[in-house]
């Protein structure tokens, strides 16, 4: 039986434009500790759907984990704007805290 990563990698190879498959692949890669490989998939999702908050949050967090703060900040700020606009209170609070930590 293929792993979750292998399953979604196969789906992405057949349908590279499917952001949902890419998002699931990115999550599976992160779960396996393959965070750098996940970056391109989260970024493709975020760039493909201007109103999709979650890939921006996860991309920002992965970049923070890689100590790439300058790259993470605009993704987290974009996610915060979407959280506010879409009335997602918990992500909004989390993003405000993450961004506040970046300022200190």
Instruction: For 2-36, write each residue's pLDDT tens digit.
Output: 899 999 999 999 999 999 999 999 999 999 999 99
CB atoms closer than 10 angstroms to residue 24 = 20
The yes-or-no verdict on residue 104 having pLDDT over 90 is no
The pLDDT of residue 64: 96
Alpha-carbon distance of 58 to 71, in angstroms, equals 13
The whole-model pTM stands at 0.93
Q: Which of 39, 51, 38 is nearest to 8 (CA)?
A: 38
Q: Specify the pLDDT at position 89.
A: 97
Mean pLDDT, the chain, integer: 96
Structural domains of the chain, ranges and CATH numbers in brackets: 4-103 (1.25.40.10)
Give me 67's structure tokens. Answer: 């100590």
CA 46 – CA 19 distance, rounded (Å): 9
Q: Tokens representing 69?
A: 């703060």
Give the pLDDT confidence of 60-98 residue by residue, as tens digits.
999 999 999 999 999 999 999 999 999 999 999 999 999
Structure tokens at 103: 């300022």
């Amino acid at each position: 039986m293929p792993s979750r990563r292998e399953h979604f990698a196969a789906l992405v190879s057949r349908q590279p434009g499917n952001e949902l498959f890419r998002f699931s692949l990115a999550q599976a890669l992160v779960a396996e500790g393959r965070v750098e490989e996940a970056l391109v998939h989260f970024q493709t999702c975020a760039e493909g759907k201007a109103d999709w908050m979650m890939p921006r949050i996860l991309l920002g967090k992965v970049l923070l984990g890689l100590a790439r703060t300058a790259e993470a900040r605009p993704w987290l700020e974009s996610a915060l704007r979407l959280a506010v606009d879409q009335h997602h209170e918990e992500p909004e609070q989390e993003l405000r805290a993450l961004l506040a930590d970046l300022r200190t």
